[in-house]
Structure 1
Amino acid sequence: MADHLTSLIDLHGPSRSSRLAELLISDHGLTAEAARKRLSRSKPPIHSFPIPLLPKQEAFVYHVKDRQTERFWQNFHRDLRETESVYGAAIDGLSARGGVVSVDEFSVISGAPILQKKQVAAVKVAQRLQDAGMTHTIDIQNYGSVIALRIPTLNSRGNVMYDVRQMAEGVLLDGIREWARRLGIASYNSIAIRGDDHPRTVGPYKWDLTGPSYLLPLKKSNAGKDQQGFTVADVFVGTVLNEYQIRYFIRKARGLLATRIGSVLPIIVADGFTGEAYTLGHRNGLMMATPESLFGSYAGSAFTSLVETLQNAAAIVSKNPSRLITLLSSLKDIAGRAGNLRGVLFELVCAYLIRNDGNSIDLGKKAYDPKVGKFYDIDIMCVRGKAECVLYECKAGEPGHVVTRAEVEEWLRRIPTFVEYVRANTFLREAEVRCEIWTSGEFDADALVMLASEKARRTNIRIDWKNGKAVRAVGTGLKEKTITDAIDQHFFKHPLSN
């Protein structure tokens, strides 16, 4: 009898106990009771995985020789999927985001509630996956702590840099918010997206985008009163989702049916979906969209270009500026009031204008301040040999945007951290460091008074600033008409500015 179980595991690999019981019955003629007892009495080298990840506390059984093999993790992942375990859904949701997410994002893609009776909470899912060795918490250089898949074979997503994905998905969320506003799918001023100071929860679940909706199909009558519905969405840039990677979203959408919060319109957005994913998603009532289906083929394809541009921003700005100009043109139709998109575009425009002013351009460097435990963005770093390093802060906004004194104070407070970052580079240890703040709008009167006072006071680290008109004048002086036209289009004269 002892050899039957061992031979099955040798042949089929590590498996959940119910699968092995079926094989003992079908292949070796045991009764159901005898198969159950055989599994319960198994001894080393046969083991049961110590962390309960399968539903109903079912065991995952393996031979010790398989413990560190690829087959172990693939079979475990298979069984988690087949039993519709929340841990399997979380692994696939994490995989869909490139295998790396912030703690906040994990609550979105885990498929688990923030807190709900008789359900495993997202924080518990994260802890158990880490205890099981499937994920771990790591520090991404210049970014901070994130939750990452530890087992490469569980991750089926292509490589898009974490910070690039964050920026690109932020831009996409901006576009979806504008789309929802224009169509009245959610209340105009109440739509929250990732990055906003908002919990973004509907019912017990967290989402990338949330907004109350008063569309007739989403309204319910409760005790004689109309009850609002909600629009919710999660987004993925740079990936085509399969049927497993959308299951976390289905868990959340269907979980809301058991609550009393009202009707919900669930939207999942990605570069594309496999045929199996479309079938499963539509069967479960999801709205499945791509940037192209939302904004048209011209603007939709621009998101692919945006990811590629952000991954190689410095090189493209310096060596292939025509690509930046094309990108600016193709994204103009979705910009609207999009803060994330405006910020990215303004940094690229400023880098383009600065590019001939130094030997090298770097975008998106991050300096760590140990006093507060945070990383701060250095939007643009321009280096002129060993002699000089200029650090630029870029502030973009809608036409008429005004930079306040508080924003200037915060920038000034971060300058010592920026300088320390530069000095840590032995090549730049003796370089003169300057800091400038550029905006697409204006500085308010108090901000200008502070800037003038600080400029006069600072002798070691000089500072300067440019408002939107001065930035545009740089483009005019360089005879960059296409860039100045883009500045006008996105920051001075946008048709949605009113």
Structure 2
Amino acid sequence: MNEIEDILIKKGPMLSNELKKELISRINIEDYNARQRISRAIKNGKIRSFKNISFNNNVSFVYLESHKNRKDFIKILKEKMKEEAKSYFYILRSIENKIDINRLPIYSNSTVKPLKGHRMFKDLINKLKLENIIIEKNESNQVYYQLKHKTDENNNIIKKVTAINKIEEIIIKDVFGFLSKINFVAYDKLKINSEFYKFKWSFTTPSYILPMKKYIKEQLQPGFIIGDILLKNVIYKEDILYFIDKINILKNQKNISKFAPFYIGYNFEKAAFNELKKNGVIIINIQQFFSKKYYETLKNIFEIFIGAYEMLKENPEKIIKLFEKLEKLEGEMNNIKGESFELIPAYYLSIHTNYNNFELNKTIKYEGKEKEIDLKAINNNNEIKIIECKATRYEIDIDYTEKWIKENIPLINKWLKNQDFYRNKKIIHEIWSTGGFSEDSLKLLRERKESTKKYQINYYDYNDMYDLFEKDKKLREILYDNYSVEKYVK
């Protein structure tokens, strides 16, 4: 065993410049000779380093093969990346924060399109995979990343990620619903998980208020509201450093539209709050922007979305209590009721039918196409229901109905037939719309319901639901209080 290996055995993984200092201190050699010894040890395979990942200042992360079995290996790697390879640190931290694979680029300081002098997100991900630091895993036919050496990874990641995505969208829509009412942002132009100047953001939307807009060759050009949302109990300074990096990169670009950065979260540590404030970021604390009641309701919805199967089977009354709270949110700028509507058919099926296996907001992918299933339910009669849930104050038009019948249903059916578990089950497609259907839509739905033999089609408007819930007075009350366009007429 040589001096270098002995140092690593006693001190653990470290950066090469730290190893160099230890070596100089121990055997009193020159800086150049210490660097040469470390370089030879790496080439000879006596110590390890990541060949595909570059750290700042020409340093490397060095370790022994046996170190990979240490529980703190990934923790040490992250600490060193935070010092000398921040772009990788941000990605690893986001993976630990259970960020959806499609939204990971948001929480990094790397680009999604080429920008001179900056690395692209996909290249960093590929290098992390090449070094086996992260791996792709599959749960319920959905892909996510996991830290290779993480030994305490939770189960049901996809359920957690899906629930987080759902809550994020509710909050973003509610915030910008309010901002559009005071003309701070353009109405109906909000984009979620979108791009602005080579980077990915949780949300972007144009703004025509005076400090933002400008004229170029007599053409009015809007500014943009851009920003991110992070749902953690406490947001620490480390969590938002990537965002500050993104903002600072934009500030140094020429010919870029004016922009105002926003950051949305539950609760900000003082250091994180001050860092955002110092950099001119508009901070939205959800509890302060809305109310504590709104915040608590979101937490309840999050728990339900994660544990929908167990809750609908063991404690469905919790869903009733949730909707009782929603009734009291009248007047809040919120999309909570609309985004929670799928819980209504889920509750009905769990209490009044033999359906006993439920999944909410499941994203499927087939033949390069993607579709979210609002509610999937299975019973003991070898039947599976796929329910499209639309809580709107307007009728579903013919365009939407045609897309549902001609695009969504065929894609879902192909996906189901490709899964052994679903292949031989009877498929029932349903669409529940509180706002009802246009005459053209109803005509098409009736025709397809009568003519379709390979699977079944059902459709329900508000009145149909009210009739369906005849034996459940409480469910009728919830439907009326939360989703009635006008008073139900028998």
Q: Name the TM-score class by shorter chain.
A: 0.7 to 0.9
Tell whether the 8 Å contact from 1:343 to 1:394 is kept in structure 2 after alignment: no
Tell whether the 8 Å contact from 1:80 to 1:88 is kept in structure 2 after alignment: yes
Distance 1:116 1:412, change over 3 A: closer
- Residue 381 (1) aligns with residue 380 (2): no
Greater RCO (Cα-Cα under 8 Å, separation 6 or more): 1
1:463 aligned to which of 443, 452, 457: 457
1:166-181 matches, within 5 Å, as: 166-181=165-180
Tell whether the 8 Å contact from 1:325 to 1:483 is kept in structure 2 after alignment: yes
Cα shift at 1:81? 0.3
Deviation digits for residues 61-90 of structure 1 (CA, Å, limit 9, x no counterpart): 223332443344332211110125211122
Q: Which moved more, 1:460-469 or 1:297-306?
A: 460-469
Q: Which moved more, 1:263-272 or 1:373-382?
A: 373-382
Distance 1:221 1:435, change over 3 A: closer
Corresponding residue SS for 1:138? strand
Q: Which runs of 5+ in 2 are unaligned?
A: none
Cα shift at 1:244? 2.0
- The separation in 2 between residues aligned to 1:367 and 1:121, in whole angstroms, is 26
Deviation digits for residues 195-242 of structure 1 (CA, Å, limit 9, x no counterpart): xxxxx2222211010112334454679899986432112123354332
- The separation in 2 between residues aligned to 1:440 and 1:129, in whole angstroms, is 47
Deviation digits for residues 239-292 of structure 1 (CA, Å, limit 9, x no counterpart): 433222222222212111111324432222233233443343334333333321
1:406 corresponds to which residue? Answer: 402
Letter paired with 2:74:
W
2:277 corresponds to which residue? Answer: 282
Tell whether the 8 Å contact from 2:162 to 2:362 is kept in structure 1 after alignment: no
1:234 corresponds to which residue? Answer: 228
1:259 corresponds to which residue? Answer: 253
1:38 corresponds to which residue? Answer: 37
Corresponding residue SS for 1:93? helix
- The separation in 2 between residues aligned to 1:155 and 1:369, in whole angstroms, is 25
Distance 1:221 1:149, change over 3 A: farther
Deviation digits for residues 101-140 of structure 1 (CA, Å, limit 9, x no counterpart): 22x3122122211221111111111111111212222222
Letter paired with 1:163:
T
Distance 1:312 1:284, change over 3 A: same
1:485 corresponds to which residue? Answer: 480
Tell whether the 8 Å contact from 1:347 to 1:380 is kept in structure 2 after alignment: no
2:87 corresponds to which residue? Answer: 86
Tell whether the 8 Å contact from 2:326 to 2:482 is kept in structure 1 after alignment: no
- Residue 346 (1) aligns with residue 341 (2): yes
2:324 corresponds to which residue? Answer: 326
Tell whether the 8 Å contact from 1:14 to 1:71 is kept in structure 2 after alignment: no
Tell whether the 8 Å contact from 1:268 to 1:287 is kept in structure 2 after alignment: yes
Cα shift at 1:17? 1.6
Tell whether the 8 Å contact from 1:113 to 1:120 is kept in structure 2 after alignment: yes
2:64 corresponds to which residue? Answer: 63
1:17-166 matches, within 5 Å, as: 17-26=16-25, 28-42=27-41, 43-96=44-97, 98=98, 100-102=99-101, 104-114=102-112, 115-142=114-141, 144-152=142-150, 161-166=160-165
- Residue 310 (1) aligns with residue 305 (2): yes
1:187 corresponds to which residue? Answer: 186
Tell whether the 8 Å contact from 1:299 to 1:333 is kept in structure 2 after alignment: no
Tell whether the 8 Å contact from 2:416 to 2:422 is kept in structure 1 after alignment: no
Corresponding residue SS for 1:51? coil
Q: Which moved more, 1:353-362 or 1:249-258?
A: 353-362
Distance 1:394 1:343, change over 3 A: farther
Tell whether the 8 Å contact from 1:376 to 1:414 is kept in structure 2 after alignment: no
TM-score (norm 2): 0.83
1:450 aligned to which of 444, 447, 450: 444
Which consecutive segments of 4 or more residues in structure 1 shift more than 6 A? 153-160, 220-227
- The separation in 2 between residues aligned to 1:7 and 1:314, in whole angstroms, is 53
- The separation in 1 between residues aligned to 2:155 and 2:260, in whole angstroms, is 27
Tell whether the 8 Å contact from 1:400 to 1:492 is kept in structure 2 after alignment: no
Deviation digits for residues 358-392 of structure 1 (CA, Å, limit 9, x no counterpart): 13342327596755665662614263x43x73625
- The separation in 1 between residues aligned to 2:404 and 2:218, in whole angstroms, is 52
- The separation in 2 between residues aligned to 1:153 and 1:214, in whole angstroms, is 50
Tell whether the 8 Å contact from 2:301 to 2:322 is kept in structure 1 after alignment: no
Letter paired with 1:203:
Y
Tell whether the 8 Å contact from 2:300 to 2:322 is kept in structure 1 after alignment: no
Distance 1:24 1:113, change over 3 A: same
- The separation in 2 between residues aligned to 1:223 and 1:409, in whole angstroms, is 46
Deviation digits for residues 444-480 of structure 1 (CA, Å, limit 9, x no counterpart): 2222222222232245644322112322343466323
Distance 1:65 1:415, change over 3 A: closer
Tell whether the 8 Å contact from 1:233 to 1:267 is kept in structure 2 after alignment: yes
- The separation in 1 between residues aligned to 2:265 and 2:96, in whole angstroms, is 14
1:291 corresponds to which residue? Answer: 286
Cα shift at 1:316? 4.1
Letter paired with 1:379:
L
- The separation in 2 between residues aligned to 1:433 and 1:156, in whole angstroms, is 32
- Residue 271 (1) aligns with residue 266 (2): yes
Tell whether the 8 Å contact from 2:395 to 2:435 is kept in structure 1 after alignment: yes
1:496 corresponds to which residue? Answer: none
1:360 corresponds to which residue? Answer: 355
Tell whether the 8 Å contact from 1:267 to 1:289 is kept in structure 2 after alignment: yes
Tell whether the 8 Å contact from 1:379 to 1:394 is kept in structure 2 after alignment: yes
2:421 corresponds to which residue? Answer: 424
- The separation in 2 between residues aligned to 1:105 and 1:415, in whole angstroms, is 24
Q: Give % identity.
A: 18
